[in-house]
């Protein structure tokens, strides 16, 4: 039996803020209240600090392959923990001819189980949209996988899915309570625009944004909403970037469509001009959908404040600039997409969201902790501070001031998308299932200590059905 008593903190949940103490026993929260006097193996004084649930990053890509490049894997998951993220939901790619379950099982055994520093779950990513796959969807909750993802973008890539595959997946999902996630961009539009952009002699990273304007995202989101309506199924739009796409989600939801969406840290903080940096520096910021102009960022913050978007993820992809990104030196089309962000999500969203008055502290917890737990069927085990919940707890110092540098980052990538960024606040201490695993930016745990957390079906996206 191990016990921890956290005293004198300001407890934050998605709905509350109050002074209080938390008593933890055997990895679970046993008591929450004022002036608790339980004897504990470890007592932590959280005076002057905020205490909130461990963050859940529901959108990461470890060990992801783009062309000939494979990004950094789970050995970098300590970067999540030190920043206050205690659970990661990673995208596990289906192998062609394999089931989702067998693909996830192999990935888990070969890439995850001995390296994970945080708790974890998986979304199945469809590479082989066969009839066998559609039949398997109803069984996925039995394996603790209540979500799958399909790519509407990337024409010619093995993971591109046509509308018929998206529709069939939606139709197969509803009775089982599986949530269908989509990367919503019009693949044909992008294919034409990429070719035309290159024909004009534009091969530098800025061509990525030129060939992926907001309309290609908005059109695909609109189409996804109609497909969901036809199937009478929920649909979840990952990494929303364009204000037009967000407006469609907002308006369709208001009309009764079961459509939900997230955005990501970089789409709230970084503008498209980064792609035009000299000396191929712009390649660091090539991600899909592309970065947008400031007016889109402003509208996304409004959407988060008003509840029109449901979560903030990192879309972490650890491709190194010097090796992986340079595969596209001759053409932006070949630049591996994505940037590291796992370590920055919690502190940067606090800095740009809470500290600057764009969102409340309660909305911060809802977007970064509670809603991701609900979407992925982990609530209330994860994502909240409640009696019986896992003791995944962040003790956060709002008075900390620092500068983000890649030199001090743990993500094992050769650049940070937030280099030189002023950071307000940081996770002073992080508990994972009651164990102190990080303190002041240092990881104290050991690789392989993370555990698989099975997701339950009928998550947040089924609330309208």
Cβ distance 83 to 425 under 8 Å? no
- The mean predicted confidence, pLDDT, of the chain is 97
Cβ distance 264 to 270 under 8 Å? no
Cβ distance 149 to 140 under 8 Å? no
Query: For the segment 80-118, what is each residue's pLDDT rounded down to a tens digit?
Result: 999 999 999 999 999 999 999 999 999 999 999 999 999
Angle at 321 between CA 422 and CA 125, to 5 degrees: 95
Nearest to 119 by CA among 418, 367, 372, 415: 372
pLDDT at 465 over 60: no
Superfamily covering domain 54-379:
Metal-dependent hydrolases (3.20.20.140)
Distance (Å, rounded) from C-alpha 158 to C-alpha 458? 29
Strands 50-53 and 393-403: antiparallel
Distance (Å, rounded) from C-alpha 36 to C-alpha 23? 8
Query: For the segment 232-265, what is each residue's pLDDT rounded down to a tens digit?
Result: 999 999 999 999 999 999 999 999 999 999 999 9
For the record, the structure tokens of 433 come out as 């299932």
Cβ distance 83 to 347 under 8 Å? yes
Chain centre distance of CA 8:
31
Residue 460: Cβ within 10 Å count: 20
Angle between helices 294-306 and 243-254 (to 10 degrees): 30
Omega before residue 380 within 30° of 0, cis = yes
Distance (Å, rounded) from C-alpha 387 to C-alpha 455? 19
Query: For the segment 353-412, what is each residue's pLDDT rounded down to a tens digit?
Result: 999 999 999 999 999 999 999 999 999 999 999 999 999 999 999 999 999 999 999 999
Strand order in the sheet with 179-183: 311-313, 259-264, 235-237, 179-183, 147-151, 119-125, 85-93, 55-61, 316-317
Query: For the segment 265-306, what is each residue's pLDDT rounded down to a tens digit?
Result: 999 999 999 999 999 999 999 999 999 999 999 999 999 999
Query: For the segment 182-202, what is each residue's pLDDT rounded down to a tens digit?
Result: 999 999 999 999 999 999 999
Distance (Å, rounded) from C-alpha 365 to C-alpha 384? 8
Domain boundaries, the chain: 54-379
Query: For the segment 319-337, what is each residue's pLDDT rounded down to a tens digit?
Result: 999 999 999 999 999 999 9
Confidence band, pLDDT 50/70/90 cuts, at residue 157:
confident
Exposure string of 430-444, with b = 16+ CB inside 10 Å and e = fewer, is bbbbbbbbbeebebe
Distance (Å, rounded) from C-alpha 284 to C-alpha 292? 15
């Amino acid at each position: 039996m191990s016990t921890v008593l956290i005293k004198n903190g300001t407890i934050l949940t998605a709905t509350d803020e109050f002074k209080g103490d938390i008593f933890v026993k055997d990895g679970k929260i046993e008591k929450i209240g004022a002036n608790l006097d339980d004897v504990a193996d470890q007592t932590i004084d959280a005076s002057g600090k905020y205490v909130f649930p461990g963050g859940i990053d529901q959108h990461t890509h470890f060990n992801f392959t783009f062309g000939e490049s494979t990004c950094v894997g789970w050995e970098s998951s300590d970067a999540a923990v030190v920043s206050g993220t205690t659970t990661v939901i990673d995208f596990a790619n289906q192998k062609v001819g394999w089931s989702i379950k067998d693909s996830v099982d192999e990935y888990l055994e070969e890439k995850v189980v001995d390296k994970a520093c945080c708790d974890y779950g998986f979304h199945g990513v469809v590479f082989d949209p066969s009839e066998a796959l559609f039949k398997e969807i109803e069984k996925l909750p039995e394996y603790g996988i209540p979500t799958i993802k399909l790519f509407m973008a990337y024409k010619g890539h093995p993971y591109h899915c046509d509308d018929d595959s998206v529709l069939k997946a939606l139709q197969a999902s509803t009775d089982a309570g599986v949530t269908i996630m989509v990367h919503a961009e019009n693949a044909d539009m992008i294919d034409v625009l990429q070719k035309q952009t290159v024909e004009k002699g534009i091969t530098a990273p800025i061509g990525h944004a030129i060939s992926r304007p907001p309309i290609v995202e908005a059109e695909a989101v609109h189409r996804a909403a109609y497909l969901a309506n036809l199937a009478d199924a929920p649909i979840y739009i990952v990494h929303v970037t364009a204000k037009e796409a967000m407006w469609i989600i907002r308006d369709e939801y208001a009309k009764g469509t079961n459509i939900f969406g997230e955005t990501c840290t970089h789409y709230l903080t970084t503008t498209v001009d980064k792609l035009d940096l000299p000396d191929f520096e712009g390649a660091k910021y090539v991600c899909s959908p592309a970065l947008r102009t400031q007016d889109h960022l402003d509208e996304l913050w409004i959407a988060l404040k008003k509840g029109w978007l449901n979560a903030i993820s990192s879309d972490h992809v650890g491709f190194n600039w010097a090796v992986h990104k340079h595969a596209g030196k001759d053409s932006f089309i070949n630049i591996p997409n994505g940037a590291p962000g796992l370590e920055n999500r919690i502190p940067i969203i606090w800095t740009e969201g809470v500290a600057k008055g764009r969102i409340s502290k309660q909305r911060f917890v809802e977007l970064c902790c509670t809603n991701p737990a609900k979407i992925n069927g982990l609530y209330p085990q994860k994502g909240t501070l409640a009696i019986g919940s896992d003791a995944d707890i962040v003790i956060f110092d709002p008075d900390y001031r620092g500068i983000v540098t890649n030199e001090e980052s743990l993500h094992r990538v050769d650049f940070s998308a937030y280099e030189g960024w002023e950071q307000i606040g940081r996770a002073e201490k992080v508990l994972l299932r009651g164990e102190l695993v990080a303190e002041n930016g240092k990881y104290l745990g050991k690789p392989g200590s993370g555990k698989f957390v099975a997701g339950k079906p009928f998550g947040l996206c089924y609330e309208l059905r």
